[in-house]
Amino acid sequence: MTVNLLDFDAAGLTAFFAEHGEKPFRARQVLRWMHRFGQGDFDAMTDIAKSLREKLKAMAVVLPPAIVSDKLSDDGTRKFLFDVGGGNAVETVFIPEDDRGTLCISTQAGCALDCSFCSTGKQGFNRNLTVAEIIGQLWQANHVLGFDPKSDRIISNVVLMGMGEPLANLENTIQALRLMLDDNAYGLSRRRVTVSTSGLVPAMDRLRDECPVALAVSLHAPNDALRDELVPINRKYPLRELMAACQRYLEKAPRDFVTFEYVMLDGVNDSDAHAHELLAVTRGVSCKFNLIPFNPFPGSPYRCSPPQRIRRFAELLMAAGIVTTTRKTRGDDIDAACGQLAGQVLDKTRRTTAQTAYRTIDLHEVRT
């Protein structure tokens, strides 16, 4: 059976090599070749014994998901569509800025959480991505963007904010995170890797204990009644439990705050009263707010809050001494903005049988 070495973090690769009679330093060598240098050809791993290279060629591959579409926005944002098999495809977005390059990665084919304002959620859910499929998005993006290991990184920040709920795919997410942080692989700072969650409280605690990185919480509502409607996982882990989990996470977090993401929905969650409620519910949690103008998609019942309403909402939060930013919409001309990622999902939840208005991409059409 052929093994994909991208499925292993450092510990897993060391164990795999030990099973085949190889010493731990060989695993570190291969890890560096694969991730630091982006090499998938065993013959090119020149400081590895030829006998080991031949052994690897017989039993292993370095196989990231294939890119089937690569779109460039007018603002420089770049969106990749990756084929993950079985008729499923996931989207990854690269956002260049003056002081950083951020890659937004997907962790699932679809999403089971069904947040009412999210295009991905309306496509239903098929499966979790493997470690190779998660880290392979970074591996491939580095190649396409012209990564040079001897120069400054093109991708300096990674956010797990693409398709899916990262903490619903916890084991594979943690292994991929370890590769991002490993100095023999991508060597990213914990402060520059962010996991976004809708609030899976037990998984937040495990992430804190096993691989704490920067944390963003998709909040979107200041009370349980409204959040139950917008973010259904709130019915299982209501705001009181979520805020307590955020406080626990901060004990080991690489940043001294949690980012609360808040999509601005006209007439739904954007009033002055909502802003005051938001300040009350998050009191006691060191945080900053990131207000996200809603990005519409076909069939959505929501509209984006007017710019003046977003400004007023931000002013109320900042007046209370909370750092508040409003996310600049990037890549909306190629459907790469926040909440617009859809890809293609063969839904196993049957959610899409009654909802067919969302955008999908035909893989055959993309390839041709």
Q: Catalytic residue numbers? A: 91, 338
- With 0-12 / 13-18 / 19 or more C-beta atoms within 10 angstroms meaning exposed / middle / buried, residue 298 is exposed
CA angle 313, 195, 76 (to 5 degrees): 75
Q: Which among 83, 75, 80 has a CA at the least distance from the CA of 91?
A: 80
CA angle 287, 282, 267 (to 5 degrees): 105
In the block, residue with structure tokens 């909370």: 322
Let me know how long the chain is: 368
Q: Is 187 left (phi over 0), alpha (psi -120 to 50) or beta?
A: left
What is the SS3 assignment for 242? helix
- With 0-12 / 13-18 / 19 or more C-beta atoms within 10 angstroms meaning exposed / middle / buried, residue 114 is middle
Cβ atoms of 119 and 340 closer than 8 Å = yes
Query: How many Å apart are CA 216 and CA 214, to the nearest integer?
Result: 7
| Helix 170-181 and helix 201-210, axial crossing angle in degrees, nearest 10 | 30
